[in-house]
Amino acid sequence: MMKYKFLVEQNYKHYPVGLEDINKAQNDLDIVFPQELLDLYKNVGYGFIKGSRQNINRVMDP
């Protein structure tokens, strides 16, 4: 399992994702998310990660 502590501690803007939302998205898309994505959603959620300068990355919600 990957560690996402640095994302939580860096005060990035993130929002929790419930298991119901994850399961609904997988059912709607008829796919199973990779374990790494499931771990990210469960431990961090989705949101925005500020990179260098004006670069802002987004972790998409399910």
Statement: residue 61 has pLDDT above 60: yes
pLDDT tier at 4, thresholds 50, 70, 90:
low
Q: Where are the alpha helices (DSSP H) in the chain?
A: 5-9, 19-29, 35-43
The per-residue pLDDT of the chain, averaged, comes to: 81
pTM value is: 0.71
Question: For residue 49, what are the CA distances in angstroms to 3, 23, 42, 43?
Answer: 16, 24, 17, 15
Q: Beta strand pairing status for 13-15 and 46-50?
A: antiparallel
